[in-house]
A and B are shown apart, each in its own frame.
Chain A
């Protein structure tokens, strides 16, 4: 690493100061020493790639997570934000990406949820409505009636309701998590106006966004997170070039070791997986993708760009509205996982624990779950044979600790991923779709997973990898497709493009000249 974290000089007006915040979850250190100082009246931007720790940091601030280490100073005094109620009492308000409104209640009820305008236990609707109207006018949306049911409002207007809720309390720190994702340009302008007004009255704003151009427009200072650490804090927006920000976001703290690509990823030969013009309304359109035997194709892009959905649709877990998927020249039926599996496709989904594993069940049962009928005669399972095959596979994949009768949840993330891969190895699948294969995997175990994926490809499997970590896609894949807002905007050999270019494509949709 070339930059040493800049130590900010806390101004006398620093409202919030976080130092050395550490938050650990089983198997992953989400925050590994984060520093952040926010001053009253400023818009402080928080940037970082997916998985850098932004969401976890917000949750620490709003009292959902309790940090394992580090100190938080609030208004010059050491403070703990141990419960959401405490955070709210101090004046922290958070607008989450996924809005936290009650859809069946009306606007006024949502705004005052938890601190209803009441007297003697009876709500005072008229007074509440009056105050909500004032807030909405201040937010530039006087057309929203306090009696509207929130579930019927557009996402943009729901966000306004969330903001009104934040303003209805004595808010001193407002956190906005990618607020512009659901807004069009005009609404973004309105949001920025509201943010500026608030900052002018002394409210501190933490603004999280992927869009660097927005940060240029609204931000005063920037803190950059990377791998759960602060790599730069308190940079002045005006003096920091975009290239520097991108370098900070992507700069390596750890070099991953990627296995060498095979000698000749044969340019000839029929593709094993061939996807033509695949579309899922509202998510992605016209995706073409073909993968030859022994080839690894990487899909890069932001969360929400449609990468995972593409994999799930190819796999039949979502029903495509148009397009074809063929494996070895045979058409795969749309929207049928069973058919896709029989055609030779395997998926290692993004959320390993909730989408792939039966956590309480034995390792061998997790491995054989997709090929049970092979071990069954008239429905009766030959469990000894199941365990024998599972043990063979776990040995060849070096799953530790050994033993296939232990429950899957006793293994670490990397070993759990190996279990999922073993499941598809057992089926001799032709196509392997891997969604974030190293999420939640210990840094040390990552290169092992990379090795494994490469050796699968070398055995003739066609592999598609989705990853939010651009270096992972570039290091592992033979060919790279960049997905942005449901469209493939770029395709090339992995060696023909660098990380900064991919990041530009991901953020802006083009490589700046």
Chain B
């Protein structure tokens, strides 16, 4: 009987394999990312047709990448949190707080007295600190990530408003000299802005971290099956804290990029970043339930959104139309994802 059933099982597997080869490809991360590349290319065709040379030029390509860089860095961090089974709604607020904290008069004077790198450290430490608070209260306080980071969203932006007194803090105001900071971030290397390089470097580090290190493996395990991870001896609470610190650091880096680009720190920086980042991650094929996702997918998701934004702007379309379209894309992507996921469950 067992032999029979084994043979049956094997036969079923065979037929299954042939029938769903296409589906399997779509489900595999490589296939999904290939699909995203196709989508991005199609969007580029639309851009080229509707906006002509204004779209298809090197300058515009750099514009798109510049647009993608800041939110891209945040999205890489968000990818880790979501793969690890969490969510962070407070990224935009953390960006605001970091930008404000590192541009206060005191910070700028301190940076002038010592080295501009102090501003960088301040922004990153503030981001990491917010992430630490999020992580500790989620992992050890047992607060649901959605609620905890929602609270952080409110509090961090509130703190940013208090510190900045709701005023825009300008780089180099009141005679401080932080030209070293400005020079560094506004430089071009090989004709490409530093901000784009930072995005590229963060993406590469993110990919290596996720795919080649124990940290990445644990992230997938904790998000994919927390109970199994715990029973395999992985310290899942501690790891959860690390994940939120990681996204906090990403927010700190994004804040610096924003400060450099706008030459200001403000409590209104990073508004709705949480939405853009989560959208990019989801479009990139990362499961919101955790356990599965890719950095390449997230990068493509970010590029798709920034290219769309660019096309809308070039065609003089309003921000509102753009938002409407974005929402529709998110729904479509998630529907597609669920279809594929449910089919993989039944096989």
Contact = CB atoms under 8 A, between A and B. Distances in A.
Given A443-B2, A444-B3, A338 B233 contact: yes
Given A337-B233, A349-B231, A361 B3 contact: no
Given A369-B217, A442-B6, A383 B224 contact: no
Given A337-B233, A412-B9, A442 B2 contact: yes
A357 interface: yes
Q: What class of interface size applies to chain B in its complex with A?
A: 20 to 34
Contacts of B218: 372
Interface stretch (B132-140, B208-216, B330-338): B208-216
A89 interface: no
B17 to A, nearest CB: 10
A286 B322 CA distance: 66
A380 B213 contact: yes
B189 interface: no
Contacts of B42: none
B231 A379 contact: no
A14 to B, nearest CB: 31
Nearest to A373: B214
Given A442-B5, A444-B6, A379 B227 contact: no
Contacts of B50: none
Given A338-B233, A443-B1, A444-B6, A354 B228 contact: yes
B235 interface: yes
Contacts of A423: 232
A383 B234 contact: no
A317 B230 contact: yes
Contacts of B269: none
Nearest to A445: B2
Interface in A420-463: 423, 442-445
A289 interface: no
A361 B224 contact: yes
B228 A381 contact: no
Contact of B231 (A355, A380, A383): A355
A355 B224 CA distance: 11
A369 B146 CA distance: 28
Nearest to A317: B231
Contact of A358 (B9, B224, B230): B224
A380 B2 CA distance: 43
A170 interface: no
Contacts of B233: 337-338, 340-342, 370
Contacts of A361: 220-221, 224
Nearest to A312: B231
B315 interface: no
B241 to A, nearest CB: 15
A360 interface: yes
Contacts, number: 81
A369 B231 contact: no
B231 A381 contact: no
A358 B225 CA distance: 6
A218 interface: no
Nearest to A386: B217
Interface string A336-352: 01101110000101000
A379 B291 contact: no
A90 B217 CA distance: 51
A358 B215 contact: no
A308 B277 CA distance: 43
Interface in B189-225: 212-215, 217-218, 220-221, 224-225
Contacts of B235: 338
Interface in A141-195: none
B5 A370 contact: no
A129 interface: no
Contacts of A354: 225, 227-228
B157 interface: no
A358 B213 contact: no
Nearest to A32: B1
Contacts of B5: 29, 442, 444
Contact of A379 (B214, B225, B232): B214
Interface centre among B220, B228, B235, B291 (most CB of A within 10 A): B228
A381 B214 contact: yes
A330 to B, nearest CB: 17
A444 B9 CA distance: 13
Nearest to A24: B5
Interface string B1-15: 111011001000100
A361 B231 CA distance: 16
Contacts of A358: 220-221, 224-225, 228-229, 291
A206 to B, nearest CB: 29
A376 B218 CA distance: 13
B313 to A, nearest CB: 39
Interface centre among B3, B217, B235 (most CB of A within 10 A): B217
B291 A381 contact: no
A311 B217 CA distance: 27
A355 B228 contact: yes
Given A380-B212, A381-B217, A412-B9, A369 B232 contact: yes
A127 B220 CA distance: 54
A337 B221 contact: no
Contact of A370 (B224, B227, B232): B232
A359 interface: yes
A383 B212 contact: yes
A369 to B, nearest CB: 5
Contacts of B214: 372-373, 376, 379, 381
Nearest to B10: A401
Interface centre among B5, B228, B232 (most CB of A within 10 A): B232
B141 to A, nearest CB: 18
A207 B292 CA distance: 44
Interface string A365-404: 1000110110010011101000000000000000000000
A369 B234 contact: yes
Contacts of A360: 224, 291-292
A22 to B, nearest CB: 13
A439 to B, nearest CB: 16
A315 B233 CA distance: 10
A380 B205 CA distance: 12
Contacts of A412: 6, 9
A-B residue pairs, 3 tightest by C-beta = A444-B2, A341-B233, A379-B213
20 contacts: A315-B231, A317-B230, A317-B231, A337-B230, A337-B231, A338-B235, A356-B232, A358-B229, A360-B224, A361-B224, A369-B217, A369-B221, A369-B232, A379-B214, A380-B213, A383-B212, A412-B6, A442-B5, A444-B2, A444-B5
Interface of A: 27, 29, 315, 317, 337-338, 340-342, 347, 349, 354-361, 365, 369-370, 372-373, 376, 379-381, 383, 410, 412, 423, 442-445
Given A338-B235, A369-B217, 14 more contacts: A27-B9, A315-B231, A337-B231, A342-B233, A355-B231, A358-B220, A358-B291, A361-B221, A369-B229, A369-B232, A372-B217, A372-B218, A444-B2, A444-B3
Interface of B: 1-3, 5-6, 9, 13, 212-215, 217-218, 220-221, 224-225, 227-235, 291-292
